[in-house]
Structure 1
Amino acid sequence: MMREIQDLKAINPFVGVHQYGQSVFGRPLVALCCGRGSRLVHVNASCHANEWITSALLMRFMTELSGAYTAGQRLGGEDIGVLLDTVTLWAAPMVNPDGVELVQGRFPHSHPHYRTLLAWNGGVEDFSGWKANIRGVDLNDQFPAFWEEECKRRNVVSPAPRDYPGAHPLCEPEAGALAELTDRLGFHAVVSLHTQGKEIYWNYRDFEPPHAENLADRLGAASGYAPIKLSGSDAGYKDWFIHRYRRPGFTVEAGYGENPLPVSAFDTIYAELRPLLLESLRL
């Protein structure tokens, strides 16, 4: 992914590449900036390690979007030059790089942390179901939006492959860096890409703006995904964003099946997701 970002930047010099933090193991957390409009939209991917296909999906979109802008072409029927004169997209394509490496089987057994991870995974060497970061904290349970309620609901009190909210909100560098980036830039709307279910979650404890459901309907019409009014879930990134800013925030569950979704499903999922992401830039 980092090589692809370098290539994208070389071809499209107007794309900004910004390191906004580091993972637990010091990997760069990178955001791409595309556009020059005053309205700021943010999209992130791979908050959950076993949903890493979302990184590839978002990178494909960034490549096509920037390429269309450079060439003066349309994308999905949209005049990208006009669109990116009114909006700027900030994309964080991999929130959880350490976890993604673990799920993909690239974490070395010789690493001093491997035995700890193996114990947290119940002694199973197959880490394909791992959602958390490399310290066993679920990054989408890390944000200060009724975090204590999420702890009670999850009832997971120590590091685990999934559902452990951590010792306190934003204790993990990946979550803290994403929150800081959001606070610093003040996005007008955010989309967090997950898998799977072909659903769009748009509300949070009635803190969402009045037009949020209408915006979710537009995203649903573009993608074929079902807008869902969700309850009984707290401490996610879009929950925190809505609660803190009272602005539109969406969790998009792309594709359908069992995580991690197979690479063979990529083209089908992207065909659904691209019009949704283009529509998110019009919100």
Structure 2
Amino acid sequence: MSFNYVVKQGDTLYRLSRRFGVNMPSIIAINPQLSNPARLVPGQVIQIPGRMNQYYVIQQGDTLYSIAMSMNVSLQRLLAANPGILPQSLQIGQTIVIPPGAGSGIVDTQTDYGYQEMMNDIRLLKQRYPFLEVTDIGASVMGKRLPLIKIGQGPVHVHYNGSFHANEWITTVLLMKFLEDYAQAVENGTSIGGRSANALYNQTSLWIVPMVNPDGVELVQDGLTPQHPYYQQLLAWNENSLDFSGWKANIRGVDLNDQYPANWEEEKKRRSPAGPGPRDYVGTAPLTEPEAIAVALLTRNLPLSLAIAFHTQGEEIYWNYRDLEPPESEKLADRFASVSGYRAVKLTGSDAGYKDWFIQDFRKPGFTVEAGLGQNPLPIEAFNRIYKQVLPLMVEGLSP
């Protein structure tokens, strides 16, 4: 028994398989008309095989987390299987779907990870770990809120960010998984990366912006449809190709990591194309894009001791900027290299990046970490290996 489903914007085969509890090969097998299963088209009608879900009736005292634990299913999958249910609005007697389980963690590190997944996970993490502080720093060009999560109560302030570049979205998964593992270690009073989580929590306040460029990430993962408000411009900027897998810029074709007032004019002369495009366009002036502005304002408003921007790829750590960095920067870079296996690199011939501006304006240690090795976007199958490398680096960054 199967049923019709009308594809919506943002749907992927993986997201549908989670929602309906059916594996992807089964969906593909029953839909031979799908010439390219990786690109579902909104409005397209496909068949979903008969569900294999279980059902559960909400009891007194239930939470989504307690249900996930008892049913051995991840909170992410539980939420995806029940898109109309909010964690804070469960009602006794209400029936929910229990999809096939895959562990009881929240952050799913086995699939493409977009804005929708991140926002769901932040909500669930906040429910599970009330000591997390969640707010936002502004919005993207298309109005997506840019979440900010704080973990820790210490006097040392540190900032991590990810997905400045759209096709480097795996950095968001790295940060979200680290946030979950760190929060769990704090709650359990255990260690993370060989350090006492509670000691780190009391020593350092970590501020995470996991996805600076959500519009761009959505474009890379979901593609472009005629309904998109920037359809004509994006198509032209991408040389009339519907393949946006190589897109780094925001939705207005501006490279957000070339937006900072650190010799911006030099960067423009060096490599900027004449106008918007997939990468390297610095814009008409520094800090014209709302995403770059939001990160800059956050940085100005916090007494940061250290900042790390996570990018991909290369397994390298950039730690300097025009000899303006403080003396401790190179020593910290060597520590990061030692625990991660990455190479600390003294970079030249690059300006206008977030790390460059942070060093120039605040004279504090700032770093760009190029995680993983391969071709962007790095496949999610590489996540476990990359996370094993960067986890100790992330922990080390909490003790500058």
**Fold match by TM threshold 0.5:** yes
- Three-state SS of the structure 2 residue aligned to 1:264 is helix
Equivalent pairs, count: 283
| Cross-structure match for 1:124 | 241
Q: Which amino acid aligns with 1:242?
A: I
CA distance in 2, matches of 1:123, 1:229: 38
- Three-state SS of the structure 1 residue aligned to 2:375 is coil
| Cross-structure match for 1:21 | 138
Q: Structure 1: which 5+ residue stretches go unaligned? A: none
Residue 181, structure 1, aligned to residue 298, structure 2? yes
Q: Which amino acid aligns with 1:121?
A: N
Q: Contact 1:241–1:247 (CA<8 Å) still a contact in 2?
A: yes
Map 1:102-117; keep pairs closer than 5 Å.
Answer: 102-117=219-234
Q: Contact 1:191–1:252 (CA<8 Å) still a contact in 2?
A: yes
Residue 164, structure 1, aligned to residue 287, structure 2? no
Offset of 1:109 from its aligned partner? 3.0
| Cross-structure match for 2:337 | 220
| Cross-structure match for 2:308 | 191
| Cross-structure match for 2:377 | 260
| Cross-structure match for 2:190 | 73
Residue 279, structure 1, aligned to residue 399, structure 2? no
Q: Contact 2:166–2:247 (CA<8 Å) still a contact in 1?
A: yes
Label 1:87 to 1:158 Cα distance change in 2 as closer, same or farther (>3 A).
Answer: same
Q: Contact 1:15–1:34 (CA<8 Å) still a contact in 2?
A: yes
Q: Deviations over 1:133-191 (max 9, x none)?
A: 00000000000000000000113121010000001100000000000000011211000
Match of 1:31 among 124, 140, 148: 148
| Cross-structure match for 2:266 | 149
CA distance in 2, matches of 1:189, 1:71: 27
- Three-state SS of the structure 1 residue aligned to 2:269 is helix
Q: Deviations over 1:210-257 (max 9, x none)?
A: 111010000000100000000000000000000000000000000000
| Cross-structure match for 1:52 | 169
| Cross-structure match for 2:87 | none
Q: Structure 2: which 5+ residue stretches go unaligned? A: 1-117
Match of 1:8 among 89, 107, 125: 125
Greater shift, 98-107 or 169-178, is seen at 98-107
CA distance in 2, matches of 1:223, 1:112: 42
CA distance in 1, matches of 2:334, 2:179: 24
CA distance in 2, matches of 1:59, 1:119: 34
Identify which of structures 1 and 2 has the higher relative contact order when contacts are C-alpha pairs closer than 8 Å and 6+ apart.
1
Q: Which amino acid aligns with 1:279?
A: E
TM-score by length of 1: 0.99
Offset of 1:106 from its aligned partner? 4.8
CA distance in 1, matches of 2:258, 2:274: 13
Offset of 1:107 from its aligned partner? 4.4
TM-score by length of 2: 0.70
Offset of 1:23 from its aligned partner? 0.1
